[in-house]
Structure 1
Amino acid sequence: MTTRTQHTDIQHIDDAECRRFQSSVELVGKRWSSGVLLAIARGAERFSDIVATVPGLSDRLLAQRLRELEASGLLTREVIASTPVQVRYRLTPRGDNLMESMQPLVAWGQRWGTPR
């Protein structure tokens, strides 16, 4: 007989907590966002590196996601004055914390998830 795990630490979630949680899930659940974050967490820094790491991601959508993730405080964008100009993306401490929080989900996906 299978026993069901009860999450006694989640006794009551008020409306504000629910909205914050929903907002967080929607941000990382938006198509390509989690792939972009995972690519950067694994060392991709440049636009071309991220595109190469996330199969099926178009340049237009990557640019849009990078702007959204930067606006959310998860990424920083560093412009390096060189010829040609280089742009590097890195996780902020907030982004690092999010990726640490997502590690169990990444592990779950490796074990149980099915590729699209």
Structure 2
Amino acid sequence: MRKGWVISILLAAACGGSSSSNTSGGGGGGGGTTTCTAANATATTTVSMANTAYAPGCMKVAVGTTVTFSNDDVMAHTVTTDAGQAESFNSGAINPNATFSHTFATAGTIKIHCNFHSTMHLTVIVQ
């Protein structure tokens, strides 16, 4: 009995860990190492912030599109561009059940993060 329990713990540890890490600038929240491209980006004008993740984590919009970010989580988040992006903005704290909207005016790839949660990343491809 004890042997099975130990094996279960070892398997859980080997498979565990958060899959929301985004090490290559991809989607974030969805796990992993897929690079966000126009071909795999979600075409949408809404982003949900829940479970300390942006959803989707990889999206595309046309120049001039307004995107609404909705905080569906139990804690505050921000929508903040990384340094050196084609556009620069910071929503400030967005409390639970609140929204923030931004109109993307410049074509390019814009990387976004939450100032409060280092695991939250979003890539927006503006075409």
Give the helix-richer structure, 1 or 2: 1
Give the strand-richer structure, 1 or 2: 2
When the two structures are superposed, what TM-score results if normalisation uses the length of structure 2?
A: 0.24
Higher relative CO (Cα under 8 Å, sequence separation at least 6) belongs to 2
When the two structures are superposed, what TM-score results if normalisation uses the length of structure 1?
A: 0.25
